[in-house]
Amino acid sequence: MTAETIIQSLASGLLMGLLYGLIAVGLALIFGLMDVVNFAHGEFLMLAMYVTFFLFTFFAIDPLLSAPLAAAALFVLGAAVYLLIVRFAMRAKANVGMVQIFATFGLAIVMRGLAQLFFTADYRSVPNSWLGGKTVSVAGIYLPQPQLFGALVAIAAFGGLYLFINRTDFGRALEATREDPGAVALVGIDKNRVFALGWGLGGALVGLAGAIMATFFYIYPDVGASFALIAYVTVALGGFGSVFGAFAGGIVVGLVEATTALILPPSLKSVGIYAVYLLVVFIRPRGLFGSM
Amino acid sequence: MDKQFVARRRRDLITAAGLAAVAAIVPLFVKDVYVQNIMVLTLMYAALSQSWNILSGYCGQISLGHALYFGLGAYTTALLFTKFGVLPWFGMIAGGLISAAIAMALGYPCFRLGGHYFAIATIVIAEIGLLLIQNWDWAGAALGIDIPVRGDSWLKFQFTRSKLPYFYFALVLACVAWFVTWWLEDSKWGYWWRAVKDNPQAAESLGVVVFNSKMGAAAVSAFLVAVGGSFYAQFVSYIDPGSVMGFQFSLLMALPAVLGGIGTLWGPMLGAVILIPITELTRSYIGGSGRGVDLIVYGALIVLIALARPEGLVGLFSRRRKEATR
> B300 burial class (0-12, 13-18, 19+ CB within 10 angstroms)?
middle
Query: Which residues are registered as beta bridge partners of B239?
Result: B145
pTM: 0.88
| B141: CB partners within 8 A, 6+ apart | B133, B134, B135, B241
Per-residue confidence (pLDDT) for residue B323, from 0 to 100: 46
For residue B239, give how far its alpha carbon lies from the nearest alpha carbon of chain A (Å).
20
The verdict on a CB contact (< 8 Å) between A110 and B294 is: no
Q: Is A232 on the interface with B (CB under 8 A)?
A: yes
Looking at chain B, which residue has its C-alpha nearest residue A241? B116
Nearest to A240 among B116, B304, B310 (CB): B116
Per-residue confidence (pLDDT) for residue B98, from 0 to 100: 94
Mean pLDDT for the stretch of residues A8-35: 90
Q: Is A61 helix (H, G, I), strand (E, B) or coil?
A: coil
d(CA B133, CA B244): 11
The verdict on a CB contact (< 8 Å) between A287 and B117 is: yes
Mutate to test the interface with A, among B124, B130, B297, B301 (most CBs of A within 10 A): B124
Looking at chain A, which residue has its C-alpha nearest residue B117? A236
The verdict on a CB contact (< 8 Å) between A233 and B120 is: yes
The verdict on a CB contact (< 8 Å) between B306 and A112 is: no
Per-residue confidence (pLDDT) for residue A167, from 0 to 100: 85
Query: With 80 as the cut, is the pLDDT of residue A96 above it?
Result: no
The predicted complex's ipTM stands at: 0.84
Mutate to test the interface with A, among B61, B110, B123, B128 (most CBs of A within 10 A): B128
pLDDT greater at residue A138 or residue A54: A54
Query: With 80 as the cut, is the pLDDT of residue A53 above it?
Result: yes
3-state secondary structure A221-275: CCHHHHHHHHHHHHHHHHCCCCHHHHHHHHHHHHHHHHHHHHHCCHHHHHHHHHH
Whether residue B59 contacts residue B217, with contact meaning beta carbons closer than 8 Å, is answered with yes
Per-residue confidence (pLDDT) for residue B290, from 0 to 100: 60
For residue B64, CA distances in Å to A36, A270, B22, B233 come to: 16, 18, 33, 21
Whether residue B312 contacts residue B254, with contact meaning beta carbons closer than 8 Å, is answered with no
Query: With 70 as the cut, is the pLDDT of residue A291 above it?
Result: no
For residue A289, CA distances in Å to A115, A283, A284, B49 come to: 36, 12, 9, 35
Percent residues over pLDDT 90 in chain A: 37
Per-residue confidence (pLDDT) for residue B220, from 0 to 100: 92
Looking at chain B, which residue has its C-alpha nearest residue A284? B113
Question: Quick count: other Cβ atoms within 10 Å of Cβ A259?
Answer: 17
d(CA A8, CA A11): 5
Per-residue confidence (pLDDT) for residue B289, from 0 to 100: 58
Nearest to A47 by CA among A127, A133, A119, A106: A119
Per-residue confidence (pLDDT) for residue A140, from 0 to 100: 76
Model confidence band, residue A77 (pLDDT cutoffs 50, 70, 90):
very high
d(CA B101, CA B84): 22
Model confidence band, residue A165 (pLDDT cutoffs 50, 70, 90):
confident
For residue A227, give how far its alpha carbon lies from the nearest alpha carbon of chain B (Å).
13
Per-residue confidence (pLDDT) for residue B326, from 0 to 100: 38
The verdict on a CB contact (< 8 Å) between A229 and B109 is: no
Q: Is A117 on the interface with B (CB under 8 A)?
A: yes
Q: Is A76 on the interface with B (CB under 8 A)?
A: no
Per-residue confidence (pLDDT) for residue B116, from 0 to 100: 81
**Angle made by CA atoms A176, A34, A200, in degrees to the nearest 5:** 90
CA A123 to chain centre: 21
Looking at chain B, which residue has its C-alpha nearest residue A230? B124
Nearest to B306 among A103, A112, A270 (CB): A103
Return the half-sphere exposure (C-beta side, CA atoms, 13 A cut-off) of residue A171.
10
Question: Quick count: other Cβ atoms within 10 Å of Cβ B14?
Answer: 10
Mean pLDDT for the stretch of residues A246-269: 89
Whether residue A31 contacts residue A241, with contact meaning beta carbons closer than 8 Å, is answered with yes
Q: Per residue in B80-96, pLDDT tens?
A: 888 887 788 888 899 99
The amino acid at residue A127 is: P
d(CA B290, CA B282): 11
Query: With 70 as the cut, is the pLDDT of residue A88 above it?
Result: yes
Q: Per residue in A180-218, pLDDT tens?
A: 777 877 777 888 888 999 999 999 999 999 999 998 899
Per-residue confidence (pLDDT) for residue B318, from 0 to 100: 64
Per-residue confidence (pLDDT) for residue B324, from 0 to 100: 45
Average pLDDT, chain A: 87
Per-residue confidence (pLDDT) for residue B319, from 0 to 100: 53
Residues of A in contact with B135 (CB under 8 A): 265, 267-268
Whether residue B217 contacts residue B180, with contact meaning beta carbons closer than 8 Å, is answered with no
Average pLDDT, chain B: 84
3-state secondary structure chain B: CHHHHHHHHHHHHHHHHHHHHHHHHHHHHCCCHHHHHHHHHHHHHHHHHHHHHHHHHHCCCCCCCCHHHHHHHHHHHHHHHHHHCCCHHHHHHHHHHHHHHHHHHHHHHHCCCCHHHHHHHHHHHHHHHHHHHHCCHHHCHHHCEECCCCCCECCCCECCCCCHHHHHHHHHHHHHHHHHHHHHHCCHHHHHHHHHHHCHHHHHHCCCCHHHHHHHHHHHHHHHHHHHHHHHHHHHCEECHHHHHCHHHHHHHHHHHHHHCCCCCCHHHHHHHHHHHHHHHHHHHCCCCCCCHHHHHHHHHHHHHHHHCCCCCHHHHHHHHHHHHC
Which spans in chain A are helix H? 3-34, 41-59, 63-81, 87-89, 96-119, 145-167, 169-179, 181-186, 191-213, 223-238, 243-263, 269-283
d(CA A66, CA B5): 63
Round to the nearest angstrom and report the end-to-end CA distance of chain B: 15
pLDDT greater at residue A68 or residue A265: A68
For residue A271, give how far its alpha carbon lies from the nearest alpha carbon of chain B (Å).
6
Q: Is A168 helix (H, G, I), strand (E, B) or coil?
A: coil
Question: Quick count: other Cβ atoms within 10 Å of Cβ A1?
Answer: 8
Looking at chain A, which residue has its C-alpha nearest residue B261? A95
CA B189 to chain centre: 20
Nearest to A112 among B125, B295, B300 (CB): B295
Residues of chain B with pLDDT under 50: 322-326
d(CA B298, CA A161): 37
Nearest to A16 by CA among A244, A217, A258, A268: A258
Per-residue confidence (pLDDT) for residue A24, from 0 to 100: 93
